Amino acid sequence: MSIMFTCEDIRQYYYCPRKIYFRYVLRVRTQETYKMKMGRLIHEKANLGENTIKDVYLCSEELGIVGIIDILEFVDNGAVNIIEIKTSRFKRRMYDDHKVQLAAQAMLVENVLGLKVNKIKTLNIETGKYQEVHITEYHREMVRHALEKMKHIVLNEIIPEPTKHRARCIDCECRSFCVDIF
């Protein structure tokens, strides 16, 4: 059985592994949260002009990943930059769960398009400021690890332990399904 996960699923796995169980085993439909709605609306408005392509859908059966790259920016040396649009303010440090999503996107671009990813940047659409994100082999290994664990959850229909960071549960679109949390 071939299972395809999105780059976002990989981020969500590190946020809370139960989201994978609810999405893929129980096939729960969740309501769009306020943050999700605002992010979607802001993404729709983004336009960066020449040498860029917006909303690039990529699928790799080899990797088991599908995803939409917000923006691919073509640079002179035949490589590309990935630009991820963010609606929240930049923090000094991006957490690994976000970096792993970007690592999955880089792996998709390299695998499907055969292009070298030169840089990965986030763009705060409200301020117009960019932040370069450094992705290492560690983050790529996190992608591979997550895919393995996520397949295990789905194929064996195992409900994992919830996140240890219970403050994350407050805004979670799956909150009402975690009856053992509250």
Cα–Cα distance for residue pair 61/49, rounded to 1 Å: 31
Cα–Cα distance for residue pair 141/138, rounded to 1 Å: 5
Element (H, E) at 66: strand 65-74
Residue 124, pLDDT score: 81
Whether the model clears a pTM of 0.95, i.e. scores above it, the answer is: no
Q: Is residue 53 part of a domain?
A: yes
* Total domains present in the chain: 1
Domain range spanning residue 80? 5-177
Cβ proximity of 16 and 181 under 8 Å: no
Residue 137, pLDDT score: 93
Q: Compute CA distances 132 → 12, 34, 103, 182, whole Å.
A: 22, 27, 13, 38
pLDDT tens readout for residues 45-86: 666 667 888 899 999 999 999 999 999 999 877 799 999 988
Q: Is residue 16 part of a domain?
A: yes
Which CATH number do you get for residue 85? 3.90.320.10
Q: Is residue 182 part of a domain?
A: no
Q: Is residue 121 part of a domain?
A: yes
Supply 96's token pair: 């690994």
Section 140-167 average pLDDT: 89
Q: Is residue 14 part of a domain?
A: yes
Which ranges of the chain does DSSP label H, i.e. alpha helix?
7-15, 18-20, 34-45, 96-108, 137-156
Cβ proximity of 65 and 7 under 8 Å: yes
pLDDT tens readout for residues 94-119: 778 889 999 999 999 999 999 999 88
